Chain A
Amino acid sequence: MPALSAQHLTRRFGNRLAVDGLSFEFKAGEIFGLLGPNGAGKTTTLRMLAGLIAPTSGSVQIDGETMTPDAAPRLRARIGFLTEAPGLWDNLTVRENLSIYARLYGLADPDEAVTNALTLFEIADRSQDRTARLSKGLKQRVALARAIVHQPPIVLLDEPTSGLDPESARDVRELIVGMREQGRAVLLCTHNLDEVERVADRVAVLRSRLVAVGSPGELRERLFVPRLRIRLSQPAEPFAAILRTSGLGDVSVEGTSLSLSAGKRPTPEIVRTLVEAGAGLEAIGEEERSLEDVYIKLLNAGERAK
């Protein structure tokens, strides 16, 4: 059973359609990336998933139980939500911030829960500091600790590394991966493609409606024909002409590199053709398409379909 499931989720604000018929699900021990440009409806989707705002139509199910206004307060206890801003009470210490949330969730032993969260996120040494005095990276760490202080099986993260320096962002990514290892179902909402590429098991591309869902690898395969990249020790243009003459139509040149779609022709045969023509081969491999390529192609396709 999926930890969280969204079925035909739609939300209108007046005449504006913010989210249109979104359906997806993710399970425990999975990081599910929700990608989309600004205004694509990511935050609105997260708020509906967290039961903060009601969908105009469609439904959200947490562990098979439908989120209704009556069930929302109870189901929200199964969710940890990191909002885009850390949203910490600046005048309170780190421990006080977490302790109040532990009590708001009605934990039997709030002090122990807070100590565990402080230890897990390696902020125990800062527990008596007022959060106003913390760096942005540390604040985000505290906010993450707050999001899981009640040990929720589902964690929703809205732009968790937004505005962080590279080192802090890497730390936060490690913590997110740690959540997967703890068996939580994690939804990572971001427009940082590199981040999703590094940590997400599956990705949904959103532009008010769902453009595509799948693992980064699946999306690449779906959208791009595999290509070979061959680096030569000399200018590649003459060898591109030879390959074209041999029947390979899609060959492009970039200095000393060739990029080609092999189609059904075996790679050793292509290599032999080049070597027989006197080419010096330095490297050969499959051309790596980034998630950014996938994302741009999906959004462009979505734009054209409108």
Chain B
Amino acid sequence: MRMLALLHKELADERQNLSLFVPSLIVAVVAILLPVFVAIIVPYATGERLSDSSDFEIAIELYRSQPGTRALDPEAAIQAYLFQFFAVMLVLIPVTSSMSLAAYSVVGEKQARTLEPLLVTPITTFELLGAKVLGAFMPSIVLTAVSYIVYVLVTVIFARTGVAGILLGARSIATVFVLGPLAALAALQMAVCVSSRVNDARTAQQIGVLVILPIPGLLVGQLFGALTLSVPVIAMIALGLLVINAGLMWLAIALFDRETILTRWK
């Protein structure tokens, strides 16, 4: 009940502060436009098909070898490869979105001098941090879902027939809706931890940015063939993230020292 009350405040506050979502909107636009640029606009502008380039032979082989994608023509297979490859970028949306909100969570209350009245209420640390985490998590997931829908619509409109269907497969959906939320949860819990320990929102954001680093790592890993985000691999990463999230929640509660926050922060 108390967590819901504070969550209501977080969401109401965010509705009044839509500029908070600008960084994640930029990430969403880039994540959607990048594959369109590489897979659709560049071949159209240069008049050269992607399937004419030997660089994508592996992609064609990969997609031809799978039952679900065997029917795709070479150009569609490369487009499917690229759109699925860049779908990892969509994971960045909830991460950046939730992190920018969460980094401000505790230190922002302190700076606005709203934390002390809040701490006088019977709210527990778990309830307070839970509301902060959910308040950042929920809008970021909505934004991700909307971005994903737009992403699929873009492939329906601009890509070859059958490409959009690939994006509706288990692998893409698991990447965006399992890895994304779990990575976002880890990122924002980390940001809440940092936000509880520093007395400046910018510092919290700067430290929190470190959490994003593994995601480009996934992209690079795929690019060089070191990693293929198959469903079992996604499941393993998700399991790891679950454990990390549980640990981070425990850490966030342990690090939230009411006395230090009230008496040392200026």
Name A's B-contacting residues (CB within 8 A). Answer: 13, 44, 47, 50, 52-54, 73-74, 76-77, 79, 81, 83, 85-92, 96, 100-101, 103-106, 130, 143, 146
Contacts and interface: CB of A to CB of B under 8 A. Distances in A.
Given A91-B13, A91-B17, A103-B1, A52 B8 contact: no
11 contacts: A44-B263, A47-B263, A74-B122, A81-B116, A83-B116, A87-B113, A87-B115, A89-B9, A91-B13, A103-B1, A106-B1
B113 A54 contact: no
Contact of B120 (A54, A76, A90): A76
Interface of B: 1-2, 4-6, 8-9, 12-13, 16-17, 112-124, 258-259, 262-263
A23 B8 CA distance: 41
A47 B263 CA distance: 10
A13 B112 CA distance: 24
B contact patch SS = helix
Contacts of A79: 120
A49 to B, nearest CB: 11
Given A53-B258, A53-B259, 18 more contacts: A47-B263, A52-B119, A52-B258, A52-B259, A53-B263, A54-B259, A74-B122, A76-B121, A77-B122, A81-B117, A85-B113, A86-B113, A92-B16, A100-B8, A103-B1, A106-B2, A130-B16, A143-B117
Contacts, number: 84
Contact of A104 (B2, B12, B113, B114): B2
Given A52-B258, A54-B259, A89-B114, A96 B12 contact: yes
Nearest to A150: B121
Contacts of B16: 91-92, 130
Contacts of A103: 1-2, 4-5, 8
B75 to A, nearest CB: 50
B73 to A, nearest CB: 53
Given A87-B113, A91-B13, A91-B17, A104 B121 contact: yes
